[in-house]
Amino acid sequence: MPTNITSYVQGAWSDYIENISLDDVKIAIQETIQMDDEHGAFWVGIGDSEEYILKTHKDLIVIGIFEKSSEIKKQFNNLQEIENLYKILLSRNYNEVKQILQS
């Protein structure tokens, strides 16, 4: 992630948006659900000195990558749970994101 960008969304279909909002994430979720299995994923990176990444798959599996080495994987039940997770991530509450992924 370039140093002047604090957040981005990247889809497997190659769209890349910088300095994102929750609306950008909601659009990525909807586009991912409509994609075929090969392209059914997107990821969001956020951070200033450290990058925190959430990668969401079409099957509602989310993988969190924290501090360049720690990876947590969780199956979610619905899209609303995933939207809420991204809302927390965008508010930079990284500890709460980790807690949700570990629960």
pLDDT, mean of residues 44-67: 89
**For the ranges 34-43, 52-61, 69-78, which has the lowest average pLDDT?**
34-43
Model confidence, pTM: 0.85
Retrieve residue 91's tokens. Answer: 């508010």
Is the torsion defined by CA of 13, 17, 23, 25 positive or negative?
positive
Give the whole-angstrom CA distance, residue 12 versus residue 32.
8
Radius of gyration for the chain, computed over Cα atoms and rounded to the nearest angstrom: 12
Q: Is the pLDDT of residue 4 over 70?
A: no
Confidence tier at 32 by pLDDT (50, 70, 90): confident
Task: Label residue 50 by pLDDT band (50, 70, 90).
Answer: confident
CB–CB of 43/32 below 8 Å?
no
Mean pLDDT, the chain, rounded, equals 87
Please give the residue that has the higher pLDDT: either 40 or 86.
86
DSSP string, the chain: --TT--EEEEETT--EEES--HHHHHHHHHHHHHS-GGG-EEEEEE-SSS-EEEEEETTSEEEEEETTTEEEEEE-SSHHHHHHHHHHHHTT-HHHHHHHHH-
- pLDDT range class, residue 85, cuts 50, 70, 90: very high
